[in-house]
Structure 1
Amino acid sequence: MKPTKAEPLLSVRELTTTYPGRRRAAPVRAVDGVSFDIAAGETLGLVGESGCGKSTTGRTIVRLLEPSAGSVRYDGRDIGHLSQRELKPLRKDLQMVFQDPHSSLNPRQTVARIISDPLLVQGSSAADARRRAAELMELVGLIPEHIDRYPHEFSGGQAQRIGIARALATSPRLVVADEPVSALDVSVQAQIVNLMERLQRELGLAYLFIAHDLSVVKRVCDRVAVMYLGRIVEIGDKERVYAAPAHPYTRALLSAVPLPDPVAERTRERITLLGDPPSPAAPPPGCTFHPRCPKAQAVCRTEAPLLRIDAPGGTRRVACHFPESL
């Protein structure tokens, strides 16, 4: 579903999340000035290497973590600094699907209780919540008669369906999906992706789809945001980002995605990045990507690039002094 030009459903501006350092260690700025919008019914993919701050961004948006700075506006209202009491009525509209389905489900609770809990918190009766849980099980492709089973009695794909059903219990408008298929077998991944696409069409959901698998992101997302060391370095429509990546980091990520054509796979350019990502507790000065960037020059070592529009009238933004497409 393509994004509309209306007021965005979610608007994130200069979001920063800092973890305090242990003992005398320096604090870790896991998310560093992140900004993006998500329209109603749109899917924004958030990609990058492990440890770049993707999951922290998602958890901060739904207030599982507290933001250190910046704003999170949902449907025009700043929710980043609401009290838990003020936030409670809005939680039904903002839900999350976690990466590991089994670790995110309480092993001591039945599926009925797991799916019903969000409804009970919002004030539904036990009978209505159980009835809704059975409907949701059928909606996500599970057998309603299994409602009194425990999580360990389900496979990984079935457990993820339970997590999705729980997220949908309160009829949310925005779902943060944190690596929802990375812990599953490839065949099961396809089933879950198809399920999420169908639910989006039927329910009009918006997704923040966090992943490191760029093939899955290309399939399900309308736009893509690429993160590196807590910052967004490129964001734009997926067709343009995948066809002509502007940031050297984006080019390197896409060069690692296998191609189905053996000839194209053998002849294409492969970009190998040097070294490992720097520690977010001690990021390098200037552009944080410059120690690994094949195009780095003197200005990259001293001046952090701004996330700017890559062409007049364009919508893609790139944080690079020497982007590829310019």
Structure 2
Amino acid sequence: MTTATERTSESPPLLAVRDLTTTFPARRRGSAPVRAVDGISFDVAEGETLGLVGESGCGKSTTGRTIVRLLEPTTGSVSYDGRDISRLSQRALRPLRRELQMVFQDPHSSLNPRQTVARIISDPLLVQGSSATDARKRALELMELVGLIPEHSDRYPHEFSGGQAQRVGIARALATGPRLVVADEPVSALDVSVQAQIVNLMERLQRELGLAYLFIAHDLSVVKRVCDRVAVMYLGRIVEIGAKERVYAAPAHPYTRALLSAVPLPDPAAERARERITLLGDPPSPAAPPPGCTFHPRCHKAQDICRTEAPVLRIGTPGEAREVACHFPEEAP
């Protein structure tokens, strides 16, 4: 059955995540395992940008790392270009890593401090079997593509600013010619002015190279700028997913409304006039989630059914390009 999260095109999605669960074992005897990702499903189409948003600790980064198999999924499946990659051996997965790459949150900690940037960028090509000469030539081309000076290719990461180091990370991700890039909060560690430069760079690269992005972030203003669709996560589950315009204009889940109410508005009068929603308490521990809807302890709309029955993602209004997991969603205007 076609859902609101699926594209209208007949072609299958580039990335299809189905009932994905990632569980970490208990750290101490007698404690419960942590279900960081709890049965989520979504698609990313060719050339699309899907934003994955939520509070810190909701499972966004774990989702991204599981998709590229830096973490192993517990249950569920991840299909890339119609092929299930969630159970492939590392040897079988290696050729596919050309097309599936990741950009990390902290640019400096994700780069080897003992290697030059030319070697860092060319490493994925060397692993894939390219010669050292060809790999270095490609590294210099990529440095120019992302706005770096090729003459700086023999410098080390500590000699670059945060924004420049993130450009190195992006160049490394592009080295093998990927079709899908998982960007794990790629601008959150950067100054605001540098954030705009990196966002502009990623948008330009998407247009020129036809990339698809899974853009993981907690800054909803950045997500609004770069994404086509938005998926909102809370405690390991997706609670709302849909077209960016619908989610931002008329959020259906109380959690989405609270997140959007915290985004500053550039108009001081509008900022003073709007309703600010303050959530009570902290998110529950994923090792001991509450029964029913996991958001109900912090939700002003919670009723008895919310405390006993977990809602499932469903289309709120017939024909609407948005799904919400809530027993009492906001009515669409």
TM over 0.5: yes
Paired letter, 2:57:
G
Aligned to 2:280: 274
Partner of residue 4, structure 2: none
Please say if residues 18 and 29 of structure 1, whose CA atoms lie closer than 8 Å, have aligned partners that are also in contact: yes
Q: Is residue 2:77 matched to residue 1:76?
A: no
Give 1:314 shift.
2.1
- d(CA) in 2 for partners of 1:12, 1:76: 11
1:220 to 213, 220, 226: 226
Mean CA deviation greater in 15-24 or 135-144: 15-24
Q: Equivalent residue of 2:257, what SS?
A: helix
Q: Could you list the per-position Cα deviations for residues 208-263 of structure 1 after superposition, in whole angstroms to 9, with x for gaps in the alignment? A: 00000000000000000000000000000000000000000000000000001110
AA at the equivalent of 1:22: R
Q: Does the 8 A contact of 1:136 with 1:169 survive in 2?
A: yes
Q: CA deviation at 1:271?
A: 0.3
1:21 is aligned to: 26
Q: Distance in 1 between matches of 2:233 and 2:9?
A: 24
| 3-state SS in 1 of match to 2:148 | coil
Is it true that 1:298 corresponds to 2:298 in the alignment?
no
Give the conservation status (yes or no) of the 8 Å contact 1:45–1:208: yes
Q: Could you list the runs of 5+ residues in structure 1 that have no partner in the other structure?
A: none
Give the letter aligned to residue 205 of structure 2.
Answer: L
Sequence identity, in percent? 87
Q: What is residue 8 of structure 1 aligned with on the other side?
A: 13
Match of 1:323 in 2: 329
Say if 1:248 and 1:293, in contact at 8 Å, map to a contact too: yes
Gap runs ≥5 in structure 2: 1-6
Q: TM-score, normalised by structure 1?
A: 0.99
Trace 1:10-159 onto structure 2 (pairs within 5 A).
10-24=15-29, 25-159=31-165
Q: Is the 8 A contact 1:3 1:39 kept in 2?
A: no
Contact 1:44-1:222 within 8 A present in 2 as well: yes
Contact 1:40-1:206 within 8 A present in 2 as well:
yes
Supply the RMSD in Å over aligned alpha carbons.
Answer: 1.0
| Deviation for aligned residue 1:3 | 8.2
How much does 1:315 deviate? Answer: 2.3
Q: CA offset at residue 4 of structure 1? A: 4.8
Distance in 2, matches of 1:77 and 1:102, equals 33
Is residue 245–residue 325 contact of structure 1 (8 Å, CA) maintained in 2? no
What one-letter code is carried by the residue in structure 1 that aligns with 2:24? Y
Distance 1:279 1:5 in 2: 40
Letter in 1 for 2:128: Q
Aligned residues: 325
Amino acid at match of 1:53: G
Q: 1:302 to 1:41 in 2, by over 3 A?
A: same
Q: Which residue of 2 aligns with 1:284?
A: 290
Q: Give the partner amino acid of 1:290.
A: H
- Match for residue 258 of structure 2 among 249, 252, 260: 252
Deviates more, 1:290-299 or 1:308-317: 308-317
TM-score, normalized by length of structure 2? 0.96
- State the Cα distance separating 1:6 from its structure 2 match: 2.3
Q: Which amino acid aligns with 2:138?
A: R
